Structure 1
């Protein structure tokens, strides 16, 4: 397991980008639960963020690709609108403890 960040560094209804061992990732917290994905859109293979650490749509309820506007569910990464509908982001196993959020790469 690799350390990602402390729990307080990922506020509820927010997102944050990371790079660990050359792998670009991002994390989103919703309802107190952290979700981690590889930062790559299944449609074009590009990073998703609008600006650094901005992976969510304006309502903070969906992950949104800055390149073509595809929308993904936070809980499982499934694309629900856009050119890659039916595809999914690649999730990364994570766990959270008193120290913070950890990922398996």
Structure 2
């Protein structure tokens, strides 16, 4: 699995919640993963409103979702995004979406991020 970076385990993320990860150990969560049962959705931790300049989506550590867990919320300006697609539903970035990351979940629950040429040198 040389093209994969281990993030953790499925049980590290509560069902219906999201958690930030720092796969390149830069001291900030550069992506976050949302858990829906055994399904995981991963997004770059940057709002498209700011041109993916690194504006963190979390309004507090590991707080990426609204209270109901139905939408991703940008802590910087309150934009709301669809949890399934990352599409902006409300806010200053209509027609834009969060950038998805490719994840792999093993049969034993280990969670990995696919390392691509775009994220090899921590471009997000």
User: TM-score, normalized by length of structure 2?
Assistant: 0.79
Find the partner of 1:90 among 79, 99, 102.
99
What residue ranges of structure 1 are gaps of 5+ in the alignment? none
Q: Which runs of 4+ in 1 moved over 4 A?
A: none
**Equivalence for 2:66:** 57
Structure 2 Cα separation of the partners of residues 96 and 47 of structure 1: 25
Are 1:39 and 2:45 matched, yes or no?
Answer: yes
Structure 2 portions without partners, runs of 5+: 116-124
**Superposed CA RMSD:** 1.3
State the TM-score, normalized to the length of structure 1: 0.93
CA deviation string 1:48-99 (max 9, x = no partner): 0011000001111110001111111111211111101110001001111114
Question: Are residue 101 (structure 1) and residue 111 (structure 2) matched?
Answer: yes
Give the count of matched residue pairs: 105
